[in-house]
Structure 1
Amino acid sequence: MPNHQTAARALSTAQERKLVDFVEDRFLELTRNYKKRSDPSSTVPTLSCYLTSSHTLLSFILQIPPVQPSSFLRVTFLLRLTSEVMGAITGYQPAAAGLPQLLSWLNDLDRGWLAVLRSQAWDPDAREGVDVPQQTDALHGDTGGAMRSPMTQTERARLRSLLISGTGRLEEWLVELDTGGQDYTAVLQTMDLQQGFDDLFAGTLTEMGSLNGVMNVHEGMEGTC
Structure 2
Amino acid sequence: MPAGADPGSQSTRNQLPTTANAQGRRNQLYKKLTAVQEGRVRNWVEEQFIHLDAEWIKRQKPGARLTTLSAYVDMIMPVHSVILQIPPTPSSTSIRFQFFLRLTIDIFDRSTMYHHSPDVARSPSDEQHEELLKLVDCFCLFDEGWVAILSSQYWDIDKKKPLEYEPGTQKNNSRTGLSETEKSMLQSTLINGKAAVDDG
Q: Percent identity between the aligned chains?
A: 31
Q: 5+ unaligned residues in a row in structure 1: which ranges? A: 136-142, 174-225
Aligned residues of 1:64 and 1:70 also touching (Cα < 8 A): yes
| Counterpart Cα distance in 2 of 1:62 and 1:20 | 12
Runs (5+) with no aligned partner, structure 2: 1-18, 116-121, 123-127
Task: Tell me how far apart the structure 1 counterparts of residues 81 and 54 of structure 2 sit (CA, whole Å).
Answer: 20
Question: Deviations for 1:55-99, whole angstroms, at most 9, x for unmatched residues?
Answer: 110011001011021122111100111111111111213722211
The count of corresponding residues between Structure 1 and Structure 2 is 163
> What's 1:133 paired with?
170
Q: Is contact 1:44-1:50 (8 Å) kept? A: yes
Does residue 60 of structure 1 match 2:82? yes
Q: TM-score, normalised by structure 2?
A: 0.75
CA distance in 1 between partners of 2:176 and 2:185 (Å): 17
Letter aligned with residue 170 of structure 2: P
Matched, 1:19 2:19: no
In structure 1, the residue matched to 2:196 is 169
1: CA distance, partners of 2:159 / 2:130: 25
Task: Work out whether 1:38 is the aligned partner of 2:60.
Answer: yes
The CA deviation string for residues 155-204 of structure 1, in whole angstroms up to 9 with x for no partner, is 1221111111111111222xxxxxxxxxxxxxxxxxxxxxxxxxxxxxxx
Is 1:99 aligned to residue 126 of structure 2? Answer: no
Q: Does 1:155 align with 2:182?
A: yes
2:135 equivalent to 1:113: no
Give the Å deviation of 1:150.
Answer: 2.9
Cα-Cα RMSD? 2.1
**By how many angstroms is 1:134 displaced?**
5.9
8 Å contact kept, 1:65–1:121 = yes
> What amino acid does structure 2 have at the position aligned with 1:166?
G
Give TM-score scaled by structure 1 length.
Answer: 0.67
Bigger radius of gyration among the two: 1
For structure 1, which segment, 154-163 or 47-56, has the greater mean C-alpha deviation from structure 2 after superposition? 154-163
Whether contact under 8 Å (2:80, 2:103) holds in the other structure is: yes
**What's the secondary structure of 2:155's corresponding residue?**
strand
Asked if the contact 2:148/2:162 (under 8 Å) is kept, the reply is yes
